Amino acid sequence: MAAAAEREGVAATSVRPAGQPAKAGTLYVVATPLGNLRDLTLRALDVLASADVIGAEDTRVSSVLLRHYGIATRAVSIREHNEQKRAVEVVGWLAAGRSVALITDAGTPGVSDPGARVVAAVHAAGLPVVPVPGANAAVAAISAAGLAAEEFLLLGFLPAQPRARRAVLDRVAALPCALVCYEAPHRVRATVADLATACGGLRTLVVARELTKLHETIARVPLIEAPAWFAADANRERGEFVLIVDRAPDAGVEALADVASARPLVAALLDELPPARAARVAAAATGLPRDALYSLALSLRGSDG
């Protein structure tokens, strides 16, 4: 078998390669599973099993993973409220020759989760930082979304306050890329309504819910139909979400910009007319597609409520 591998230009390896334990004085940024505990890489297992210290966002959550793999190292809490203090301690541990593995509750530290301050402090101290890549909710959702966009903008968690959330979306809606955000169940319908208002109903929304878990759902719906999709089944509002708005269709980019410019007219018409009538009147006045104006009218009416 080794000879055959060499003929193919590939180095022969054993069936079970040697492990890669953590090195002294090194910070490892380790991605952990989103839900399915088998989505942990072999190198992550090596590092977690051999690190002197494991820094975890929530030690209670991480203990489930560590116990599952028989890792006895006690985790210390490194989360948003204590990260600055812990960063100093981590630098001290590394300087003393200890190895540290940094993990979050699920996914990759520092990507819409704590960790960036610790990593920055370690870099500033001139000490090594090694990524151990693996699960990330945004990347997992994008891989299964079938996007037309070749670029994406990760917005993380949008502001909880409606006005601030809409301000962010208004700023990025016209960019020629997919927009990716995380959302909690109690805000998902309001955020989807704001996405429709900012981006227009012609764009496609990908809803990735409970990734890698028992009730995983990945659905593609036009933004104009998204409120009805959520309303059709209360279970669709449960769990943790990645929301992706694909870029506008090539033929519709200019039309979407024109529709957005008609927002004041449609809003004024809605003071006197139902959405369907308002869209018809606006279409007659502007020559813009009635369906797109109707989507805008529904979004504006929903945001008013």
Q: What is the DSSP string of the chain?
A: -HHHHHHTT-----SSPPP-PPPTT-EEEE-B-SS-TT---HHHHHHHHH-SEEEES-HHHHHHHHHHTT--PPEEE--TTTHHHHHHHHHHHHHTT--EEEE-SSB-TTSSSTTHHHHHHHHHTT--EEEE----HHHHHHHTT--S-S-EEEEEEPPSSHHHHHHHHHHHTTSSSEEEEEE-GGGHHHHHHHHHHHH-TTSEEEEEESTTSTT-EEEEEEGGGHHHHHHT-GGGG-S-EEEEEPPPPGGGHHHHHHHHHTHHHHHHHHTTS-HHHHHHHHHHHH---HHHHHHHHHHHHHHH-
CATH code for the domain of 74:
3.40.1010.10
Same domain, 115 and 150: no
| Number of domains the chain contains | 2
Same domain as 163, residue 300: yes
| Domain assignment of residue 293, yes or no | yes
151-172: string of b/e by CB count within 10 Å (b at 16+)?
A: ebebbeebeeeeeebbebbeee
* Sequence-separated (6 or more) residues with CB below 8 Å from residue 167: 159
Q: pLDDT at position 225, please?
A: 87
Please tell me whether residues 165 and 300 are part of one structural domain. yes
* Residue 127 and residue 148 share a domain: no
Residues 87 and 198 in one domain: no
CB atoms within 10 A of CB 37: 12
pLDDT at position 17 is 46
Residue 11: inside a domain? no
Q: What is the pTM of this model?
A: 0.78
How far is residue 204's CA from residue 253's CA, in Å, rounded to a whole number? Answer: 13
What is the structure's pLDDT at 200? 81
Q: Is residue 113 part of a domain?
A: yes
Residues 6+ apart with CB under 8 A from 300: 197, 263, 266, 267, 270
pLDDT at position 287: 78
pLDDT at 250: 64
Q: Judge whether 62 and 69 are in contact, CB under 8 Å.
A: no
Please check whether residues 63 and 198 belong to one and the same domain. no
Could you read off the pLDDT of 197-246 as tens digits, one per residue?
A: 898 878 999 999 999 999 999 999 989 889 889 999 999 999 999 999 99
pLDDT in tens, 42-82: 999 999 999 999 999 999 999 999 999 999 998 999 998 99
Q: Which of 93, 114, 135 is the last residue of a domain?
A: 135
Per-residue confidence (pLDDT) for residue 262, from 0 to 100:
83
The answer on 282 and 161 residing in a single domain is: yes
pLDDT at 289: 77
pLDDT average per 10 residues of sequence, the chain (305 residues): 40 52 97 97 97 97 96 93 96 98 97 96 98 97 96 96 95 94 96 91 93 96 90 94 90 60 88 89 83 78 60
| Same domain, residue pair 243 and 98 | no
pLDDT of residue 288: 80
Pair 165, 254 in one domain: yes
Q: What separation in angstroms does the CA of 229 have from each of 25, 201, 233, 234? A: 51, 13, 7, 10
Q: In what order do the strands lie in the sheet with 100-103?
A: 75-77, 53-56, 100-103, 27-30, 129-132
Domain that holds residue 128: 20-135
**Same domain, yes or no, for 144 and 130?**
no
Q: What is the CATH number of the domain that holds 227?
A: 3.30.950.10
104, 135, 166 — which closes off a domain? Answer: 135
Whether residue 3 lies inside any domain: the answer is: no
